[in-house]
């Protein structure tokens, strides 16, 4: 019997942007992500015992028709108006993770897409948590996100990760928002003071493993959009997995985990 899953989907309503912002880490934004994108992630876990938590960072108002559709897919819809609060994005992520009640927590950003050949492929992916504490997206540099000697810890990408409920210590993560506390308690070679690195540095000192599996397009695909064309998700959501696999050979995953269309 599979454990209950908490699927936490973090969305936002920034003005549309159809390509990744590069070094400023500004991700792709498209209105499709609030409809076809949420459906895509829920569909990945078809047949599993799950709760769906959608957390929306509201820059522009969510259209009423879109919100009604989201409510048909989600058990919890959290909308928080965007502010200039320091660390707003990380705080938003943490707030949404506190809502998770499942045995397995799966956190995914709106600009990440997920497709699976069948439920066994998803079960096998979840099964990697029997050997690892945190599992992030499939990587060209598995078991790492990249090869970069400036880091002596493995961060846990908030694009996508999953973990057992007991593996993530949200109270300790909250403490790491204090930069001095974090640096003193979990010193690392390269300091990036945001959530995925707080998780990774805590994991380092607790002997937890953050794992990036190999890309396995024969069974499933998890990637983020480096650039996006409207309605692409809708078309892909309607395809059998064999056609999605072929589409991905024609639109290959590139650094760090991006697909361009």
Q: Which helix (H) or strand (E) holds 168?
A: none
pLDDT (0 to 100) of residue 27: 82
- Copy the structure tokens of residue 143: 């078991």
| pTM across the whole model | 0.96
In Å, how far from its chain's centre is CA 213?
14
Residues of the chain with pLDDT under 50: 22-24
pLDDT (0 to 100) of residue 25: 53
- Copy the structure tokens of residue 101: 């009640």
- Copy the structure tokens of residue 255: 């650094």
CA distance 135 to 208: 11
Instruction: Give the chain's domains with CATH numbers.
Output: 5-253 (3.90.550)
pLDDT (0 to 100) of residue 2: 74
pLDDT digits (tens, 9 = 90+) for 104-159: 999 999 999 999 999 999 999 999 999 999 999 999 999 999 999 999 999 999 99
pLDDT (0 to 100) of residue 24: 44
Listed residue (162, 159, 167) closest to 10, CA to CA: 159
């Amino acid at each position: 019997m599979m454990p209950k899953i908490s699927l936490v989907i973090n969305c936002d309503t920034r003005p549309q942007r159809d390509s990744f912002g590069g070094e400023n880490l500004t991700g792709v934004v498209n209105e499709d992500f609030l409809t076809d994108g949420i459906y895509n992630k829920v569909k990945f876990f078809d047949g599993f015992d799950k709760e769906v938590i959608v957390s929306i960072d509201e820059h522009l108002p969510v259209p009423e028709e879109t919100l009604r559709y989201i409510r048909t897919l989600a058990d919890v819809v959290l909308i928080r108006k965007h502010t200039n609060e320091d660390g707003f994005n990380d705080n938003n992520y943490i707030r949404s993770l506190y809502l998770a009640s499942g045995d397995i927590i799966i956190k995914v950003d709106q600009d990440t897409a997920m497709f699976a050949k069948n439920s066994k492929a998803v079960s096998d992916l979840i099964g990697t948590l029997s050997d690892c504490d945190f599992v992030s997206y499939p990587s060209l540099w598995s078991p790492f996100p990249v090869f970069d000697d400036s880091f002596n810890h493995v961060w846990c990408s908030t694009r996508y990760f999953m973990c057992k409920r007991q593996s993530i210590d949200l109270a300790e993560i909250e403490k790491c928002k204090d930069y001095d506390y974090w640096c003193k308690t979990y010193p690392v070679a390269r300091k990036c003071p945001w959530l995925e690195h707080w998780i990774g540095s805590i994991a380092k000192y607790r002997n937890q493993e953050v794992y990036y599996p190999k890309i396995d397009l024969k069974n499933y695909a998890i990637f983020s959009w480096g650039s996006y064309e409207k309605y692409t998700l809708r078309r892909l959501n309607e395809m059998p997995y064999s056609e999605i696999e072929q589409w991905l050979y024609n639109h290959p995953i590139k650094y760090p985990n991006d697909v361009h269309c």
